[in-house]
Amino acid sequence: MSLATAIRDKDVAKLPGKRDEEWRWTDLRGLIRILPEPSASFAGDVGDGPFDALADDRRMLVNGGEALIDLPADSKATVALRFVSRGAGSHAAGVTITLGSNARLRLLESYESDGGSVTQASLTIVLADGAAVERIVLAQDHEDAVSVSQAAVRLAPKAEYGQTVVTSGARRQRLETRVIHPGGHASLRLDGVYLLAGKRHSDQTTVVNHESTDGATVQLTKGVVRDQARGVFQGRIVVAEGADRTDARMGHHALILSDRAEVDAKPELEIYADDVACAHGNTVGALDEDALFYARQRGMPEADARALLTEAFIGEVIDRMWFDGARDVVRAWAAERLRG
């Protein structure tokens, strides 16, 4: 059951839907009655990507395709990886990324669609001992697009992996990350921001499997939904038997700014080891009316006050990004959406 298989086989029966527990809030089966024709190849100008100026290696997959990024041991790279969709066809893309020991990668990934395309991107990211990755995902999809991105990440001892997924949603969108965490003093940060308006939907799903001792995971996702938008957060952390001294913390907090907007959240900790420190927190609520009045009493018009407070709310996540340049891009992108 996956969108990629359904696209390959042109068979809507293979789409995941609400009967699949993991997809119950992101029903593709019920949404897509007929899969669009395969996307034609596109040779026109697609303009600059959001992170082009920051990267020393630029990769672009337009209407599908495959790419391989291989960093030898001890090397360093900042790669802009663009998944571009033009038109309203269907296609899948695949990227494999490997890092040798102590290699360092900044992966600046973007999703850019311009219509009602149906797309799947699959990434495999494998780190060797002591390697470090910061993956920043900016999903700026079209409101008619159906977009699924699934990343499978495998860490190694002493590896460091940080991720921030930032999205404005799509007609239906799933941004999924699955991490195999071997412990061994590897550290993992999985953060997310969703800013949804109109009838947009976005689903951030993460699964972390702590397989052995001494692993750390921190996770913070924040969302702001307005109009009739719908945000979904599913976070699961599994700590295997014997994976002692695992330290895992998960937080998800959302602001709902209109009566018809919706947030569905499912944080799960499955712990089979004895000696662990695990915690999760989840809140969904409205903007603090008292704080809003306070800001207005100081002279800020209501819209400005709301923007300031919501920017501050998600700013906590953006501040956690490591790469200054990308942080500035993301902050500006978010501010524009919150003020718009």
Binding another protein (rule: CB under 8 A), the pick from 51, 111, 233, 313 is 313
- Tell me the one-letter amino acid at 137: V
Nearer to another protein, 268 or 302 (CB): 302
Q: Does 312 bind another protein (CB under 8 A)?
A: yes
Least CB distance to another protein at residue 258 (A): 17
d(CA 312, CA 327): 14
Least CB distance to another protein at residue 293 (A): 5
Q: How far is CA 38 from CA 7, 84, 85, 146, 153, in A?
A: 8, 15, 12, 14, 28
Contact 184, 216 (CB under 8 A): no
Least CB distance to another protein at residue 222 (A): 10
d(CA 175, CA 254): 17
Residue 55 φ/ψ, nearest 5 degrees: -100, 150
Least CB distance to another protein at residue 330 (A): 15
Nearer to another protein, 72 or 301 (CB): 301
Binding segment for another protein (CB under 8 A), chosen from 37-45, 282-290, 323-331, 332-340, is 282-290
Chain centroid to Cα 177, Å, comes to 7
Provide the token pair at 66: 């495959």
Binding another protein (rule: CB under 8 A), the pick from 295, 329, 330, 338 is 295
Q: Does 316 bind another protein (CB under 8 A)?
A: yes
Alpha helices in the chain (DSSP H): 3-9, 289-297, 302-318, 324-339
Q: Does 283 bind another protein (CB under 8 A)?
A: no
Nearer to another protein, 56 or 288 (CB): 288
d(CA 247, CA 281): 15
Q: Does 290 bind another protein (CB under 8 A)?
A: yes
- Helix (H) or strand (E) holding 72, with range, is none
Within the chain, what is the greatest distance between any pair of CA atoms?
Answer: 60
Residue 268 φ/ψ, nearest 5 degrees: -135, 130
Nearer to another protein, 154 or 320 (CB): 320
Q: Does 298 bind another protein (CB under 8 A)?
A: yes
Q: Does 300 bind another protein (CB under 8 A)?
A: yes
Nearer to another protein, 25 or 313 (CB): 313
Binding residues for another protein (CB under 8 A): 288-291, 293-302, 304-305, 308-309, 311-313, 315-316
